[in-house]
Amino acid sequence: MPSWFETAGVLERVRLFLRERTPQAYIVGGYLRDQLLGKESKDIDLLVPEEAVALGRQLAAHLGGSFVPLDEERGVARIVLKAERERYLVDLSQMRGALEADLARRDFTIDAIAMNLFDPEAHLIDPYGGQCDLKERVVRALSKEAFQDDPLRLLRGVRLAGELGFRVESRTQGWMCCHASLIITVSPERLRDELCKILALEGSAASLRHLEGTGILGAVIPEIQGRSEHPLDSLESLEGILPAWREWSFFPHLLSHLGQPTAGDRSRLILLKLTTLLHHLGQADKHPPSEALDTSSLERVLRRLRFSTLEVRLGQTIALGNPLAWRLTLKAPAPLDLYRFFRETKGTGVEALLLSLADRLAALKGDMSSLEWQGHPTSTKAILSHYFGEEREWIFPPTLLTGNDLQRRFHLEPGPLIGHLLEAVREAQVEGKVRGREEALKLIEEILPQERADSSTRRRRR
């Protein structure tokens, strides 16, 4: 086997195992495509003539990986393997008829290339011109039936084009437009996962504009149909802002924050991009954005696409934080302003700031020379420098007192009053009025009578 077909030795181990157990095995699909493009790949797709699931189970045991039966009826199995600190996916599928007929059922020509795993010369089998399309940088469907057989390919084709820097061939584009409505027949989970793969692209706005032009985006998210221009402009602005900040000291911390997982393979950055696409739902298209924002439409979209409860909450909070961030960056904020902003945005302040900046730039049609734009990026970068830097205590002051301390010292019952008192201490810390435990206790003694009276008034009003 040529060295460029070896993936840290994993493929060679698979080859040696299968050679003793099946007369034929073929590498197909994305692994070959990526290798021909000079790209590293850790996803290996294999075809075997029979018993794919049984072979997959044995292979998983042999390699010390996890076995996942993806479709036992059709004979599709996955082995999840960790080797040399990397994660590999090896998919085994049972051939449907002869090899060429099986390849004909695939989606795009660039994924319909095969190679006999046991061929020492590693000759490529390419009956549909996939290598030519790779050279021409074209995504071409094998037939119009490809989208009828699996409508998710409507999204996947656009994603592949964006990921590889290819163009969608004109006839394929026509078929996609013709079959756009079929996308609603795909399960919400598969739609979500493919949409998130598109959002994970560095230039996802361009791919989403492509989907909009074919009618696919409006079918997936009908709520934005006819109202997608500003959200897509905002997403494009966001994707332009982030790379421009690479030289700033906080940038690695920002990337780490946005890379935090939310659920599955999804990250905060993907959720931020999706919220940017949906942030205008529930409010009029006006700027600055109104704080009277209804996020029920955004929630409905996220729940329909089966995002987790955490992701729904984060998405709503980011959207609600947009007008707060817009107002915060109008001038250099005081420490108490920063504290209150990050308190109100409940862990999504960074994302709200980025959304606000992108939203503002989109409203100005990308005009960075506008007087309305001047100062806002500077203010946002200063805030993020505080958030990720040594001034973090402005935003997260150290704990001086706990609820138990207040209950014991002032004989208080558990309840909202304790929360109000602790919040008063934190705000005093941010303003520099309280620096230690004794000063915090003294403040509580001073404000407790009024806080008790206010608490009593609040209870009566309820």
Q: What is the pLDDT of residues 170-181, one digit of tens each?
A: 999 999 999 999
What are the backbone angles phi and psi of residue 86, rounded to the nearest 5°?
Answer: -120, 155
**Which pLDDT does position 3 carry in this prediction?**
46
Per-residue CA distances from 116 to 38, 126, 358 (Å): 20, 12, 49
Interatomic CA distance for residues 275 and 225, integer angstroms: 16
Largest CA distance in the chain: 87
Q: Two tokens at 212? A: 């909009």
Give the global pTM: 0.90
Q: Which of 242, 316, 317, 322 lies closest to 287, judged by CA? A: 322
At position 379, the amino acid (one-letter code) is S
**Which pLDDT does position 285 carry in this prediction?**
57
For the chain, what's the residue count? 462
Q: Two tokens at 363? A: 């409203």
* pLDDT tens digit sequence for 197-254: 999 999 999 999 999 999 999 999 999 988 899 999 999 999 999 998 998 999 999 9
Say if CB 197 and CB 207 are below 8 A apart. Answer: no
Interatomic CA distance for residues 75 and 455, integer angstroms: 65
- Element housing 77 (H / E): strand 76-83
Q: Which stretches in the chain have pLDDT values below 50?
A: 1-5, 7-8
